[in-house]
Amino acid sequence: MTETPEILSTTTRPARPVRQLLAASVGNAVEWYDWYAYTFLATYIADQVFPKSADNSLVPLLSTFAVFAVGFFMRPVGGLLMGAVADRRGRRTALTVTILLMGGSSLLVGLTPTYAAAGVLAPVVLVLARLLQGLSVGGEFAASTTFLVESAGPGRRGLFSSFQYVSTSIGQLTASGVAALLVSTLTEGQMDGWGWRVPFLAGALLSLVGFWIRQGAQETRETRGPRPGLFDALRHHPRQSLLICGITAGGTLAYYTWTSYLPTYAELNTGIDKSDALLAGTLSLAFFALLQPVGGLLSDRFGRKPLLLFFGLGFALLSVPLLHGLTGSFVSLLLTQCAGMVLLTGFTSISAAVNAEVFPARVRAAGIGFPYSLTVALFGGTAPYMGTLFKELGHSGIFPWYVAALCVVSSVVYLRLPESAHRELER
């Protein structure tokens, strides 16, 4: 009788950690540049692909579906599928697939025909591109999280983890800067005609650069014997999967509230000028990126739990006074955003390390990818919608309490979480 071969799963610490850090960070920045470029240019895309004058009732329906649902709700699928690729075929393979997916989807957005030229085919092409973008971004977090943390040297997992959000912020800032530059230098007619396509075509080229850099990275995990199944992490580690949801819920809501929605929240509730709101958002995001390595280093020295509790309890106590204290001035918004960024760093700078330390190497990427991306879709992706909904119902003051309440839930999880900073990473 033939015995089933023993599963031999090992993660190896690469000899060139800085190259590993660069490979993960550059690729991640490109991924998020492409993702956010769509957000910043959505108005121009909608005018060309989903014209208000269209008689076909499918068009506004597809528009809503594409903009609000497809991207975020494909991310859990991407986290599961690309996480499985990372666990079965290696982290570098998954990172290669995700950046090629994002480059292809960015190219597809850039080449999407207008509704006037192609009719209903135009929104269908855009929906397909957004599907691929969501798949790619969900998979990117799963693969790059494990890759970054497994590449770190002794006592440096928190520091390496922090570059997940450093690179995300760089991608977001770059997309914002490119969009602002185009809008300020091109006429309205040029932006409508071809200008909105430029960032996506550039993103496709940048993806090739990221692909080239990642080709030189060293694999952090090699597996011989039976490979894990698609749902092995959920089946064999249900507690850890729920733990990822609890760790992430408050953090993702606070992150999307403070980094994406707060300028809009301030406009709706204080009447602040839109240009001032966008400038405050940009400056605070740059400040946020600089804070991340500091948080990572502190967690390597003092542990993960103190930073997580600093974030969770800080937002639980201060979300309401910070958001209720907003006035219509630029300084008020900037200080509120920066204060939130300091608190938020307690979560973002180490979330990759905390998540990776929860699962064994064999199912680490898929184990992180699905529950994390699902939680982001449920709570992070819906943050702007919930804030706007409360405003429309005449109860805008409830939204800060909603943020605080979810951060209380996550804080309870952090209190019960065993300290993992100074343990050897399970390999």
Interval 226-249: pLDDT, tens: 677 677 777 888 898 999 999 999
- pLDDT category, 68, cuts 50, 70, 90? low
24-64: pLDDT as tens digits: 888 889 888 988 888 778 778 877 887 765 555 555 545 64
DSSP string, 265-294: HHHHHH---HHHHHHHHHHHHHHHHHHHHH
Backbone angles phi, psi at 419, to 5 degrees: -70, 130
342 pLDDT more than 80: yes
Q: What is the pLDDT of residue 225?
A: 57
The pLDDT value given to residue 243? 92
CA 34 – CA 32 distance, rounded (Å): 5
Distance CA 37, CA 41 (A): 6
> What is the pLDDT at residue 59?
59
DSSP β-bridge partners for residue 8: 224
Is residue 332 scored above 70 in pLDDT? yes
pLDDT band, very low/low/confident/very high, at 254 (cuts 50, 70, 90): very high
**Lowest mean pLDDT across 17-31, 316-330, 363-377:** 17-31
Q: Are 7 and 226 in contact (CB under 8 A)?
A: yes
Identity of the highest mean pLDDT range in 12-16, 219-223, 364-368, 380-384: 364-368
Mean per-residue pLDDT of the chain: 85
User: In the 8-state DSSP scheme, what is residue 380?
Assistant: I
CATH topology assigned to domain 229-422:
Growth Hormone; Chain: A; (1.20.1250)
- Provide the pLDDT confidence category of residue 11 given band limits of 50, 70 and 90: low
Among candidate residues 29, 24, 295, the one with its CA nearest the CA of residue 158: 295
The pLDDT, as a whole number, for residue 367 is 87
**pLDDT tens digit sequence for 194-209:** 999 999 999 999 999 8
CATH 1.20.1250.20 fits 15-212, yes or no: yes
pLDDT for 256-310, tens place per residue? 899 888 887 888 788 888 778 888 888 999 999 999 999 999 999 999 999 999 9
**Cα 416 versus chain centre, distance:** 26
| Torsions phi, psi for 10 (to 5 deg) | -135, 145
- State yes or no: pLDDT of 135 exceeds 70: yes
| Per-residue pLDDT at 6 exceeds 80 | no
**Are 233 and 367 within 8 A, CB to CB?**
yes
- Phi (first) and psi of residue 223, to 5 degrees: -125, 135
Q: What pLDDT, on the 0 to 100 scale, is given for residue 306?
A: 95
Task: For residue 38, give every residue at least 6 positions away whose Cβ sits within 8 Å of its Cβ, in sequence order, or none.
Answer: 45, 71, 109, 130, 133, 200
Residues 6 or more apart from 23 whose CB is under 8 A from it? 95, 147, 213, 214, 216, 217
The predicted model scores a pTM of: 0.85
Residue 277 corresponds to which amino acid? Answer: A
Decide if pLDDT at 348 tops 90.
Answer: yes
Domain regions of the chain by residue span: 15-212, 229-422
Beta strand ranges found along 142-285 (DSSP E) = 221-224
Nearest to 328 by CA among 400, 268, 285: 268
Tell me if 15-212 shares its fold with 229-422. yes
Which of the listed ranges 221-225, 372-376, 385-389 does the model predict with the highest average pLDDT? 372-376
Residue type, 255: Y
